[in-house]
Structure 1
Amino acid sequence: MLKLLGACIILIGTTWAGFQHARTFAERPKQIRRVRSALQLLETEIGYGTRTLVDACQSIAARMDGFVQAIFHQAHQNLLQLDGASTYECFAQAIESNWGATCMKQPEKQVILDFCKTLGISDRQDQLQNLAVTKSNLEIEEHRAQEEQTQYEKMFKTLGILAGALLIILMY
């Protein structure tokens, strides 16, 4: 009876671990889409709005949820509080401190940071062009993430179950 209980716990644990790892592959394209949506809102604010970047960040934070909200809220706070810091430094600090809550990888982070380098230092048209380039780069990364999801998600789910079965066989 105790062996059966131990085997069930092992199987449940490894299956859970496999499903958790597979979840990161499923969540990554969704999170990239959320970032692209936030950039679309920023594009609207820059192109048609008359708000400052600080107010635009606050507006985007109010409309979004999750880590995107946290990034724009902290960028808003940084822009208000960090005297003498550049726009890039304010956004980079917000991204760095909230990046751990995402399933996204380094390429997406680099695309966003590269965009932040140009944010607030050029005219409206140039910023809109940079936004378009950034959104298309994120779209490419989203397609890559979807390919990885297709390739690896099912594999990790199955691997979790099979690893548990293997451990149970080896132990008994």
Structure 2
Amino acid sequence: MLKLFGAALILLAGTLFGWYQALQLSRRPTHIAELIRGLQRLETEIVYGFTPLSEALRSIGERSPGPVGAVFAQAGKELSEPAGRSARDIWQHVITQQWRNTSMKPSEREIVSQLGATLGLTDRDDQVKHLRLAILQLQGENETAREEQAKYERMWKSLGVLLGALIVIIMY
């Protein structure tokens, strides 16, 4: 009886692992799209609103859902604190802290980190150019993420069950 219970737990763990990986694949395009929308809002705030960077980031964070909104909100909050740190340092710190809460990969992180190096340093037109470049690169990553989701989501679900079953078979 105990062996059967252990086998069921192993099978359940394998299945849950596969479903978790599939969930990560399905969240990635959503998080990238939220990031793109946030950067587009930031562009609008910079061009038309003449809003200070800290207020713009905080406002975007409040309007954006989930972990992507938390990135913007925390960056805006830390920028408004009089700590004497540059926008680049704050952006890198926030990305380092908050990125693990998203389902995005290192390629998206690199794009966002490169963008952070130019935030607050140059004039409005140059920042808009960098924002548009980052948005364009993220749109390419979003297409790749959708392709990977279509290709691998079902595979991970099946692989989790099969992996659990393989471990049970090997153990007995």
What TM-score does the superposition give when structure 2 sets the normalisation length?
0.92
1:82–1:94 CA distance, 2 compared to 1 (3 A) = farther
Residue equivalent to 2:135: 135
Pairwise CA distance, 1:150: 2.1
1:91 is displaced (CA, Å) by 1.1
Partner of 1:73: 73
Given residue 165 of structure 2, which amino acid in structure 1 is its aligned partner?
A: A
Match of 1:31 in 2: 31
* Count of paired positions: 172
Once residues 82 and 157 of structure 1 are traced to their aligned partners in structure 2, the CA distance between those partners, rounded to angstroms, is 48
Task: Name the counterpart of 1:163.
Answer: 163
Query: Does structure 2 conserve the Cα–Cα contact (< 8 Å) formed by 1:82 and 1:90?
Result: no
Q: Give the Cα–Cα distance (whole angstroms) in 1 for the partners of residues 169 and 133 of structure 2.
A: 53
Q: Which runs of 5+ in 2 are unaligned?
A: none
Greater shift after overlay, 89-98 or 78-87?
Answer: 78-87
Q: What RMSD, in angstroms, separates the aligned Cα atoms of the two structures?
A: 1.5
CA distance in 1, matches of 2:166, 2:86: 54
4+ aligned runs moved over 4 Å, structure 1: none
Which deviations, in whole Å up to 9, do the C-alpha atoms of 1:110-153 show, x marking residues without a partner? Answer: 10111111111222222111111110000111111122222222
Distance 1:121 1:171 in 2: 60
- Structure 2 residue aligned with 1:98: 98
Matched to 1:161, the amino acid is V
The corresponding residue for 2:8 is 8
- Choose 2-11 or 66-75, whichever is displaced more: 2-11
1:47 matched to 2:47: yes
CA contact (8 A) 2:11 2:164 kept: yes
TM-superposed CA distance for 1:82, in Å, is: 4.7
Runs of 5+ consecutive residues of structure 1 not aligned to the other structure: none
- Do the aligned partners of residues 111 and 82 (structure 1) sit closer, same or farther apart at CA in structure 2, a change above 3 Å counting? farther
